[in-house]
């Protein structure tokens, strides 16, 4: 399958769809997941087009790695988490829904389960509050 430049994350990168931005550099962009499975759930994506881990140019993935680790550390500190779950889904059978490579950074607390993915969108004000905490930790 080929990359579709009309996917929702490509539109976010072009500024055609709003998001709650957390971080950006020359290679990557991080923003709040609008259907979070945990408070502080962030998505990190490459700015370069890539459908998923199966077709990404290794140089693009390598360039994205520093942003991913920087954001992950900030999520843990900013949200006061005990740990993190990092997820990446590839292709429909693997659970991928948006076909632009993205990595989920989910803060985790001892004894607290992830919320189910219901499709319900979070309150934008709450997302902004979480993003502010994470940005402050950057």
Which one-letter DSSP state was computed for residue 61? H
Distance CA 71, CA 96 (A): 21
Q: Which of 41, 100, 102, 130 is catalytic?
A: 102
Give the CB-side neighbour count of residue 25, counting CA atoms within 13 A: 14
The answer to whether 67 and 94 are in contact (CB under 8 A) is no
Distance CA 27, CA 32 (A): 18
Q: Is 41 an annotated catalytic residue?
A: no
Point out the residues that are catalytic.
102
């Amino acid at each position: 399958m080929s990359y579709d430049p009309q996917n929702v994350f490509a539109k976010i990168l072009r500024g055609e769809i709003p998001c709650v931005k957390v971080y950006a550099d020359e290679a990557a962009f991080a923003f709040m997941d609008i259907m979070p499975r945990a408070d502080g759930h962030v998505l990190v994506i490459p700015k370069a087009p890539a459908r998923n881990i199966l077709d990404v140019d290794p140089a693009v993935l390598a360039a994205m790695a520093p942003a991913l680790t920087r954001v992950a550390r900030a999520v843990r500190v900013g949200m006061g988490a005990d740990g993190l779950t990092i997820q990446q889904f590839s292709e429909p059978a693997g659970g991928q829904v948006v076909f632009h490579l993205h990595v989920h950074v989910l803060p985790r607390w001892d004894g607290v389960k992830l919320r189910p993915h219901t499709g319900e969108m979070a309150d934008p004000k709450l997302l902004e509050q979480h993003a502010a905490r994470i940005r402050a930790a950057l």
